[in-house]
Amino acid sequence: MKGLIHVYTGNGKGKTTAAIGLTIRARAQNLRVCYIYFHKEPERWGDTEHGILAELGVDILGFAKKHPHFFKDVTKDETRKECLDGLEVIKRIFHENKYDLLILDEINISMRDGFLREEEVLEVLEAKPEGLELVLTGRGVPQKIIEKADLVSEIKAIKHPYDMGIQMKKGIEY
């Protein structure tokens, strides 16, 4: 069956959590899943959902973990280089074709913030194996990626507690 390209975008909460949910659902069917994330440093937060995903047999990789907006010890050039490394790995995964589901968590941010050009990502997407299900998450997805995708969900924040000064809670928000 044809594998679709899914996009989860928008300013609301639920993009990465939906990707995690899809990962769990796929593992419940014993599908082979690779979970690649960009611009996140889960290790510094202690145990996260990645630990559970790994235990469930998901292969996990992270690229450009420090976003230069938050970490002053990395440059934009370094971040771009690491994102390009990520693209190379995605190309190799497409070539090897050993997964049923590939998550690219926050890759939309890589494009939005100029670390990857949308043409670079689109070119890689051309080589997606027919049967592979692919999920891209993150705010600010470019229009051309929307056109390329089969399924696009925009998550809008109708109400968000940070507006009200409520603190983030470990195990729920991150």
Give the binding site for a second copy (CB under 8 A).
1-4, 6-8, 10, 12-22, 24-31, 47-53, 56, 100-101, 133, 146, 149-161, 164, 166-167, 169-172, 174
- The residue (of 26 and 64) whose beta carbon lies closer to a second copy is 26
- The residue (of 75 and 97) whose beta carbon lies closer to a second copy is 97
- The residue (of 41 and 88) whose beta carbon lies closer to a second copy is 41
Query: Shortest gap between Cβ of 22 and a second copy (angstroms)?
Result: 5
> Taking a C-beta distance cutoff of 8 angstroms, is the pair 21, 166 a contact?
no
* Sequence-separated (6 or more) residues with CB below 8 Å from residue 95: 127
- The residue (of 2 and 92) whose beta carbon lies closer to a second copy is 2
Q: What are the distances in angstroms from CA 44 to CA 112, 137, 150, 168?
A: 24, 21, 35, 16
Query: Shortest gap between Cβ of 78 and a second copy (angstroms)?
Result: 29
Q: How far is CA 84 from the centre of its chain?
A: 14
- Helix, coil or strand: residue 115: coil
